[in-house]
A and B are shown apart, each in its own frame.
Chain A
Amino acid sequence: MSQTTDWLDERLGVAKGGRKLVNKIFPDHWSFMLGEIALYSFIVLLFTGVFLTLFFVPSSHEIIYHGSYAPLRGQKVSEAYASTLNISFNVRAGLVMRQMHHWAANVFIAAIVVHMLRIFFTGAFRKPREMNWVVGVLLMILAIVNGFLGYSLPDDLISGTGIRIAFSIVLSVPVVGSYLAFLLFGGNFPGDSIIPRFYTIHVLLVPGIIIGLLAAHLGMMVRQKHTQFPGKGKTNRNVVGIAAWPAYAFQAGGFFFLTAGVLAALGGLVQINPIWLYGQYIPYKVSYAVQPDWYMGWLDGALRLMPSWETVMFGHMIPTVFFPAVLLPGVTFTILAMWPFIERKWTKDDSIHNLLERPRDNPKRTALGAAVLSFYVVLFFASSTDVLANSFNTSLNFVLWSFRILVFVVPPIVWYFTFHLCKETSGVYNAGKRKRALVINLSASGEYSTVETEPYFEKEEEEIVELPEEVAFHSGVTEHKETANELMFATSHSSANMKTSPTDDIGPLRSGGTGIFRIPRNVPGGGATGMGSRKRRPGKSEE
């Protein structure tokens, strides 16, 4: 026993729980890295953000600019704007840190969204993970809000225009709108409280809540353990993958550095938000082609597409921006957060799901998700109606009406094609680019024979099949060195005489233990090439 273990164990009793932690299993699938990208970008945001706080002055107090950016010298600017220029031009590594922070924000939110899509389309939100889905949706909302707040801090012309619109949106809330707007923004727009107030919320309040929710998010994940894609040997009651220590820890730790590295490259080499070109925010100045960061695009698009209906009833007004900018996001996020419960009501499914669904195996959900997603994608593109009209040299009117039509026409089309595509491919194990693996066996008499791995049919209730210990293949991803010596090969499915049963004549290949091996990638024909035959799920082929 090492002294450290003894020392710690006598004080904290670390050995029992520690061993569990060290042996925790992480399924090995690329899509599980999306959440990690989000987490690591957030860590980068914390580091770069703290750096920025050391130099940023959150004040809209006006000063005359005397800094090193010559074109603006002598102009009246706010301290917030001037200090952001200072960070960009005078603070050592300041520009890199600032741009890294901004890039990390964009990557953070993008990773959250894609991560969420992964969870949605594979059904990972189903019982028992509904609460974690809700926490995830909250995290996404907070990330978007904080992105907007941070974007507003430098007090430049473009972000100031964004705050102006935000003020009008809050103003449009029925009954309490004007009170809410005045309380949140410290009076009528613009006012001096906005920048300092946004600053506190941006660097303290929201990040604090995010950290708390992240702890809950990850805590629940550890408690419930990961979901995994179905496959040989993977059941509803186990987790198959790599161990936390050392393989996962090394890979995940390294992946943090990869993420941070890419963000550093973006921050150093790809310009983002060059506020010195936009100038200080002045309420009566306008700039052309005003566009927010990408994650606000769908709201901007909705604002553009909404017809100019303004309702006045009983002496009260419901402004037109209420519908696209308050009602739409309200409904969107409510339904999103409630989705696990809505789906449960609909499917009446009360069982525990630790195995993921492949999207094609649940055509209804996949098609619905794709259709809804396409709605927001169209809205996103609608946020560049003016740019599109200019670059294609068409009238704004034409572009606007095209989008107004597309936003309702595209989703049903997407629904139709997704649904039928899913139907046609569902139940086919490894449809898509990976083919079913072939096992090449060397029999005792020295002859080779091939065995095809069984097509996998997911039947959740009865699927806890103990696999024959001898052969258990997962048409795999990464290699496992030892298997290569054991003459277990995999090729893409290419020949037709594959009717042998998987347990035939493979005695020598006993592996014992858990009996799951990866297929070596370095073996000729291993991995995935060519088209294989696809087997349909029996009895489920034509519905």
Chain B
Amino acid sequence: MTISPEELNHHSTGPVESKSAERVVAMSFLVSFLATVALGVTFWQGGQPQLEGTFLFVALVGIGVGTVSWGKYLVPQGPFVEEREELVSTEAEKAAFEASLGRGTSELTRRKALTRLLGLSLGALGLIQLFPFVRSLGPLPKNSLTLTNWKTNARLVKPDGTPISVNDLEVGGILTAFPEGFAGNAYDQVVLVRPSQSAIVTKPGRESWAPQGYLAYSKVCTHAGCPVGLYQQLTQQLLCPCHQSLFDVMTGATPVFGPAPRPLPQLPLLIDSNGFLRAQAGFDQPVGPGYWERS
């Protein structure tokens, strides 16, 4: 049951009167109107973000204050009471509902074979819709997560594509490098650093990977893939800006702090007869963050 008109009327013995509230409402609407005019002028004059924001604010808030005050001070507030109707139906109503429903359901259960056929055709139609998704939304991963464009003898180039020679990097310097032909590629990026040679701790099997102290590591963080681009010379560490993993440059970029689980893969380098840096071979493992098939 809702409120009867009499009840409503009981609470609103005549209109609510308040001169001061009326004044507030009138002022608000007026101010809003003026602000809208000012907004129009601002647009006319070519616009200005701060003025636009301010005038729009005043125009909207004017209407807001006016309307809320109207609703609060110039109309009956009650409180009114409304009874809740029973949501739950009676047993008879429920039974009647189920009986009506049953008319159709029995049609389905009576003709089992037809029902199954309908299910089959609907299901097949639904399934086949997945096909365009799987086929067209993206290529299958295949080996694109395992392989980079680093091949034996690939020259290292700068982001603008120019080859990097031994003279390009001072001791203590850092460069971002790519395999020639793939400058800017997100997956191939490596950091090239040149710490002072003596302190490098070479891992077994990597003795020849850092000619003249040039070290190249994949720049894709093994945590979540951000570029590991901040080189802290003092500590010889590479910092990932995303979640602050630290990799020790001198010991094969092993993670020494933060959530990164694995060292940055190292790219074996060589210096060719013209003094250009080249890769001895590709990476010996997939670069970047982990995934199910990576072992």
Contact = CB atoms under 8 A, between A and B. Distances in A.
A186 to B, nearest CB: 5
A258 B62 CA distance: 8
Interface stretch (A177-185, A209-217, A501-509): A177-185
Contacts of B261: 308-310, 319-320
B7 interface: yes
Interface string B224-253: 111111100000000001111100000000
Contacts of B145: 171, 178, 188
Interface string A231-245: 001001111111100
B71 A246 contact: yes
A23 B2 contact: yes
A165 B189 CA distance: 16
Contact of A128 (B16, B64, B87): B87
Given A247-B76, A284-B189, A187 B289 contact: no
A253 interface: yes
Contact of B224 (A239, A268, A318, A321): A321
Nearest to B56: A264
Contacts of A258: 60-61, 64-65, 68
A361 to B, nearest CB: 22
Interface string B121-142: 0000000000001100111110
A341 interface: no
A316 B293 contact: yes
Contacts of A188: 141, 144-145, 187
Contacts of B228: 286
A322 to B, nearest CB: 8
A200 to B, nearest CB: 12
B49 A95 contact: yes
A512 interface: yes
Interface stretch (B77-85, B108-116, B276-284): B77-85
B288 interface: yes
Given A23-B8, A261-B64, A303-B224, A480 B176 contact: no
Interface in B252-288: 255, 257-262, 288
A532 B245 CA distance: 56
Contacts of A240: 78-82
**Residue among A233, A261, A269, A516 with the highest chain B CB neighbour number at 10 A:** A261
**Residue among B57, B134, B189, B262 with the highest chain A CB neighbour number at 10 A:** B57
A165 B77 CA distance: 53
Contacts of A320: 223, 259, 261, 290
Interface string B183-197: 011110100000000
B60 A184 contact: no
**Residue among A242, A286, A288, A300 with the highest chain B CB neighbour number at 10 A:** A286
B136 to A, nearest CB: 9
Contacts of A514: 7, 79-81
A164 B224 contact: yes
A177 B292 contact: yes
Interface in A1-48: 19-20, 23-25, 28
B50 interface: yes
Interface string A264-304: 11111100000000000011111111100000000010011
A9 B184 CA distance: 68
A250 interface: yes
A304 B293 contact: no
Nearest to A319: B290
A189 interface: yes
Interface of B: 2-3, 7-8, 10-11, 13, 16, 18, 43, 46-47, 49-54, 56-61, 63-72, 75-84, 87, 133-134, 137-141, 144-145, 159, 176, 184-187, 189, 219, 223-230, 241-245, 255, 257-262, 288-295
Interface of A: 19-20, 23-25, 28, 92-93, 95-96, 99, 128, 161, 164-165, 167-169, 171-179, 181-190, 193, 223-225, 233, 236-243, 246-262, 264-269, 282-290, 300, 303-310, 312, 315-321, 325, 352, 354, 385-386, 396-397, 400, 474, 478, 480-482, 512-514, 516-518
User: Nearest 8 pairs between A and B by C-beta?
Assistant: A268-B53, A250-B71, A254-B67, A319-B290, A257-B64, A261-B60, A283-B186, A254-B68
